[in-house]
Structure 1
Amino acid sequence: MEIRTYLDEQRRKVEDRLAAFMLEPIGAFAQHIEAMRYSLFAGGKRIRPVLCLAGAEAVDSDEQTRQRALPVACALECIHTYSLIHDDLPAMDDDDLRRGKPTNHTVFGEAAAILAGDGLLTFAFELLSGAASAPLPDPTRIRIIQTIARAAGPLGMVGGQSLDMIYEGQQVGYEELRRIHRSKTGALITASVVCGAMVAGADEDQEAALKTYGDHIGLAFQIVDDLLDVEATTAELGKSAGSDAKADKVTYPSLFGVETSRTMAREAVQEAIAALAAFDYQADPLRALARYIVDRRK
């Protein structure tokens, strides 16, 4: 499989549907909606929504299943984009560049950026609970909403970001590092794959295998992110390189060194692919995505 072709095709599907779902910047709320749209349509790899679609495809590759997964995929991208807007704020990571463009708060101001993130987060749950996802059975929708809320909330992404801030400048060990990144990065990645599987009607064994896959690629993704912050340029990343060191954050390279970290990422990818042993060729996109995650340069 040519993973870049697959990524481009799936990204276009997600962006077309996001454009159809997203509010237009007209009327009294035009400025607020414009700030939401600025970051949502600023580019990006769309890894989480693509993982959602690939998770559905691994269980059932029928076109109707893929269509039912798209609103869930779009909701995940809204949540991810909100997290980036808030991460970039002066009170958090204080970044001026994201996806190769000025960050939301540098364009619209701090208050507007906070509200743009809030708007995207809550709009995601409108997509998950409203007419967009109506073709899904209600019990399935409820499980998906619960899974995503848990992954994005105080014991998931938000909690992980809180720990990341608390531990800045402190000496922490491997267990604390894993806890931060399992929550901050890994939880939503795992939820993306598993929720795609839920859309497709996965059984317990399939869900468990895909959760294991998601946990391992979430780890690999974060290790590679840490490595890129050390090795890549600002132009390659689309955001400020070297920001982790400047903020005195604990990372995999700071704890284990570059080469050991790279080995850990590759081992995590191997574990992820091994978790898919019971799936046939329909899971090939997930296998290719795992390899892409560890080999990417941005």
Structure 2
Amino acid sequence: MRTFTHGAAMWDVACPRLPSRVAGVGMAGFRVADLAALRIVPHPAVTLLLDFGDGTAVLDCAPGQRRRGSLVAGPGLGSGGAVRARGENVECVQVRLSPVIARAVLDVSPADLDGAVVPLDDLWGREASRIRERLADASSWHERFAWTDLVLARRYESGPPVDPEVAWAWQRIVAGRGLPRIDGLAAEVGWSRKRLWSRFRSQLGLPPKRAAKLIRFDHAAHRLVAGEGTARVAADTGYADQSHLHRDVRELTGATPTTVAREPFLAVDTLAWPGLTTAAT
């Protein structure tokens, strides 16, 4: 476990020693004594938060909506800058699931989440409580990661897969960092644009154009965090100009590129998810 320090933020962060047995799964462990109003920045993955400590993580979503404990959220959580995380003595395992495997792992399409943050109890019932107890009883982060990976692998193996054409289109968008044209992808798989749009949306939880936008933004945001200038980032990541990048960042986060570059939620990624420039892979 290592300590992440960013301004007033100080978190203990743990990473698995081995990659997941399921491609498209990323995990990190967090222990935070005082989590104060952390802005959630959208990323192109399904979030599975497994809370197990004495404290409780709280997610303030839309006005009047508040979620506590273990939860699931579809791609783009935090769009518009309206979602904040907070809590005291928080301990959790955060799992990032590629939308391609999320339906099998969750046994529900990300589209059925309808953009909401859903308590894990509502999806998995008593299994969610057993997971919390098992993680709390574990003697090390290594044990927690290994056991969580077993649960995810078991669920993935028995869950419904997405169409191969949809999975292929997603991987092409990821590999192209959000730049491939959707019409071209549809033609390559032999589908109409309407069919690809419909299947993609129903199985992955967002339409292809939105997926491309999130993936492009995620790549650009991490380059901003790394200290690169907005002009260079805009030019290299497929934005028409700095104003285009600024509009997308403002739409997705409610903040400016300068503010986003200082966000702890993004800055911790190099420690929590080493080697990954985007959560989509």
TM-score by length of 2: 0.30
Compare the two structures and name the one with the higher helix fraction. Answer: 1
Compare the two structures and name the one with the higher strand fraction. Answer: 2
